[in-house]
A and B are shown apart, each in its own frame.
Chain A
Amino acid sequence: MNVQFKKGVLDLCVLAMLKDSDRYGYELASTLSETIMISDGTVYPLLRKLASDGLVASYLQESQSGPPRKYYSLTVMGQKKLEELLEDWNSFTASVNKIVGGESA
């Protein structure tokens, strides 16, 4: 997948994944690396950036089985940002599809 595409939507993907439930870094990393082909290590810097922007919050949770996990959750700002991004994404893909579809038709 094109690098430019990926970096544009990574934030959106992470925020979207956190919309319904809190998730821990490993979970986010393995899901994202499988679906949009990025290395696991790139998710953590991204999470850190989102946290410093105040879009996500993190907390440490002991697991019943296995090592402790750092969970990330969406903040109110993060929810707003997600809505904005989704709107942009939808209108953008819609217009791109129009052009791409229109040309091919």
Chain B
Amino acid sequence: MNKKEYISSLREKLVTLPSNDVEEILKEFEMHFDIGVSEGKAENEIAAKLGSPEEVAQYYLGEAVPEYNPAGTEQVAAGAFPIVPIQTWLGRPNRGTTAQTIQGFCHPTYAIPPKNKAPKPEPAGDTAHQGGRAPDLSQPHPKQEWKQVELTGYEQYPSQDPNYQKPQPKTHDKAFAILFTIFVFVPVWFIALALTLLITAWPIVTGAASVTLFALMSSFSGGIFLGTLFLAIALAFAVIAHAIIAFFAIRGFILGTIAYFRWLGKSTTSAEKEA
């Protein structure tokens, strides 16, 4: 591991510390490398003597045992830092990483990095406890006694649940279908039919009136002739407008009727299947 690799690796490990502190710490390690190199040592040799970046980071992040580990191969205590939950605008951790995050934090080798960087001064008179605590690695660290959590958090995203069952379309039995058709659908349908016919008849009536006026026009004379002409033209335009309305009314009526029978057929069939 050369200087650059060592520094960047250490930077990664110290990510939880304030950036000012990290820069200060890294500056010191850079100087260490520079001095070593100026004394004719190889960068990887210096890095090996420093101990692994993981180990060094442990001293900065919390307490760890100063241990001679020149090869820099063995890691001290904690494993990889677990994935940090990303806060979404809902104020909940990002669902995609929640499971991994909780697993990470529950992992027995994970210790919370201390929030304040400066260790509290020891109480006066207690001098038997200096130079960083030495956790007994055979014992579980008190901070690491995590409860195993059963993951149930699919309320927000039920379709992601492995046991998720797609909601079945609502079904009803045949009796309901018949009664509903007779007492609701048929009356509504007849009213709709009457309205549709009325709307359709309208352009026919106005059209007929317009045509009649045009036909009678030769028998009129003077003022009446022009008045009749304009009325006939107005009625002709009304016919066009009404025809458009009538077209959509008929279309709606037909489509509505078809949709009703489709829905009725679908939902009653599945009800029969279930039964």
Question: What is A's interface to B at a CB cutoff of 8 Å?
Answer: 3-4, 6-12, 24-26, 29, 33, 37-42, 44-46, 48-49, 52-53, 65-70, 84-85, 88
Q: Identify B31's interface contact among A6, A26, A52, A88, CB under 8 A.
A: A26
Q: Are B134 and A3 in contact (CB under 8 A)?
A: yes
Docked CA distance A65–B39 (Å)? 11
Main SS of the interface on chain A?
A: helix
Interface size of B in residues (CB-CB distance below 8 Å): 35
Q: Are B60 and A10 in contact (CB under 8 A)?
A: no
Task: Return B54 CB to nearest CB of chain A, in Å.
Answer: 10
Q: Apart from A3-B134, A37-B68, what 14 extra A-B contacts exist at CB < 8 Å?
A: A6-B131, A10-B131, A29-B32, A39-B50, A39-B66, A40-B32, A41-B56, A46-B59, A48-B25, A49-B119, A67-B34, A69-B31, A85-B127, A88-B128
Task: Return A26 CB to nearest CB of chain B, in Å.
Answer: 4
Docked CA distance A68–B31 (Å)? 7
The total of interchain contacts (Cβ-Cβ below 8 angstroms) comes to 109
Docked CA distance A84–B50 (Å)? 30
- B69 interface contact, C-beta 8 A: yes
Q: Are B66 and A38 in contact (CB under 8 A)?
A: yes
In the complex, the 4 A-B pairs of residues with the closest C-beta atoms, listed nearest first: A39-B51, A45-B59, A67-B34, A41-B50
Given A6-B66, A40-B49: A85 and B35 within 8 A (CB)?
no
- B151 interface contact, C-beta 8 A: no
Q: Identify B130's interface contact among A24, A25, A70, A85, CB under 8 A.
A: A85
Task: Return B238 CB to nearest CB of chain A, in Å.
Answer: 92
